[in-house]
Amino acid sequence: MSSPEQHTDVAIIGAGPVGLFAIFECGMLRMKCHVIDALDMVGGQCAALYPEKPIYDIPGYPSIDAADLIDRLSEQCASFGPIFHLGQQVTGLTPAEGGRWLVETSTGTRINARAVIVAAGVGAFGPNRPPLDGLEQFEGKSVHYLVRRRLDYAGKRVVIAGGGDSAVDWAISLAEVAEKIMVVHRRPKFRAAPESVARMDQLTREGRIEMVVPYQLSGLEGADGQLTGVRVATLDGEEKVLDADVLLPFFGLAMNLGPIAEWGLDLEKHHIRIDQATCATSAPGIFAIGDIATYPGKLKLILTGFAEAASAAHSAFPLVHPGEVLHFEYSTTKGVPGAA
């Protein structure tokens, strides 16, 4: 049996930083929002993958942790009373009467909206898992694909596998709290910011990080979900065991559009093609912003997504308030509607 439809002005798909700012921009234009996200919390990748990682290119903040940014954005949009549907994936997006759209989710939620803003980041994402026998019994217990709290690793022997930014950054960060950090990579060269690699090299010389190169993961040892060791091997088959409590494999994310690919929108290389000025997609009433959206010269920055959120909200206004003339005003002039 289908759930009754919930009506709103704008349905926002994605509760990452750009989706949260879209709530604020819509609220400033007197448009109510329902927000859907497959994660069970707001914040998108910022919250799920790197909550304690500093972000340096947010205007007004020389440095702000991802989790703190999400807290600020949540506070900023809270006065507009958004309704969140978390832990739900959008499975259907179909036309409804009167030029509206029906959004359906994996839990049966049905949202009838005048406009839809897709702020789905990279779409569905998950970690690239190493092909190791028995991996499943350790996942979520002593094998983790993200770091939620640094202090969870205090006093532990941690093996980090990978050669990108995440591997390097977390090796540096966790070296401050862990008993031992071992970095496993198949070659000496790392694909990370030069200053970060230099810092990791310095910590290696100081004995705070052990480089296990050129090796790759070959097996796990332990029982009942708790690791005791990580087996590594060279390309020539030389193998050894690293005594360890935790394994952090950072091999990037497997990304795909998921159900978005079936919505009939114009796509370009797994992104939604939009008009840069309005953020409109090929379907009237549907807009896309943030990393999921593309146009010539697009910069994949959070601040770019913030600007797109404002553009999409202004583009949606005449659909929600037909016949009403929108007189642009700065927030310094009109303040925040409904705020104390």
Query: 210 pLDDT exceeds 50?
Result: yes
232: number of Cβ within 10 Å: 23
Say whether pTM exceeds 0.85. Answer: no
In this prediction, residue 255 carries a pLDDT of: 67
Count the helices and strands in the chain (H runs, E runs). 7, 21
Residues 286 and 299 in one domain: yes
Provide mean pLDDT across the span 229-235.
96
Q: Is 174 a domain residue?
A: yes
Q: Is 340 a domain residue?
A: no
In this prediction, residue 190 carries a pLDDT of: 96
In this prediction, residue 336 carries a pLDDT of: 77
In this prediction, residue 339 carries a pLDDT of: 59
Residues 190 and 226 in one domain: yes
Q: Is 318 a domain residue?
A: yes
- Give the rounded percent of residues in the chain with a pLDDT score beyond 90: 76
Domain with 120 in it:
5-125+254-334
In this prediction, residue 53 carries a pLDDT of: 80
In this prediction, residue 340 carries a pLDDT of: 47
Task: Check which CATH number belongs to the domain holding 34 and give it.
Answer: 3.50.50.60
| Contact between residue 91 and residue 259 where contact means Cβ atoms under 8 Å apart | yes
Q: What is the mean pLDDT of the chain?
A: 92
Which SS3 state, helix, strand or coil, does residue 90 take? strand
- pLDDT for 71-108, tens place per residue? 999 999 999 999 999 989 899 999 999 999 999 999 99
In this prediction, residue 124 carries a pLDDT of: 65
Order of strands, edge to edge, in the sheet holding 267-268? 267-268, 271-273, 293-294
Residues 198 and 106 in one domain: no
Residue 187, classified by CB atoms within 10 Å of its CB into exposed (0-12), middle (13-18) or buried (19+), is exposed
Provide mean pLDDT across the span 298-304.
94
Residues 200 and 280 in one domain: no
Instruction: Name residue 54's beta-bridge partners.
Output: 65
Query: 39 pLDDT exceeds 90?
Result: no
In this prediction, residue 122 carries a pLDDT of: 75
In this prediction, residue 118 carries a pLDDT of: 97
Q: Is 277 a domain residue?
A: yes
Query: 2 pLDDT exceeds 70?
Result: no
Query: 158 pLDDT exceeds 90?
Result: yes
Residues 206 and 291 in one domain: no
Residues 247 and 169 in one domain: yes
Among 251, 268, 302, identify where a domain stops: 251
Query: 7 pLDDT exceeds 90?
Result: yes
Residues 121 and 266 in one domain: yes
- pLDDT for 159-186, tens place per residue? 999 999 889 999 999 999 999 999 999 9
Number of domains in the chain: 2
245-259, 263-277, 278-292: least confidently modelled range: 245-259
Query: 34 pLDDT exceeds 80?
Result: yes
Provide mean pLDDT across the span 194-210.
96
Q: Is 137 a domain residue?
A: yes
Q: Is 270 a domain residue?
A: yes
Query: 310 pLDDT exceeds 80?
Result: yes
φ, ψ (nearest 5 deg) of residue 70? -65, -40
- pLDDT for 266-282, tens place per residue? 999 889 999 999 999 99
4-18, 91-105, 256-270: least confidently modelled range: 256-270
* pLDDT band (50, 70, 90) for residue 337: confident
Residues 15 and 118 in one domain: yes
φ, ψ (nearest 5 deg) of residue 174? -75, -20
Among 220, 251, 282, identify where a domain stops: 251
- Give the rounded percent of residues in the chain with a pLDDT score beyond 70: 96
Which SS3 state, helix, strand or coil, does residue 101 take? strand
Residues 26 and 111 in one domain: yes
- Alpha carbons 214 and 235: distance in angstroms, whole number: 8
Helix (H) or strand (E) holding 130: none
Residues 168 and 260 in one domain: no
Among 251, 279, 299, identify where a domain stops: 251
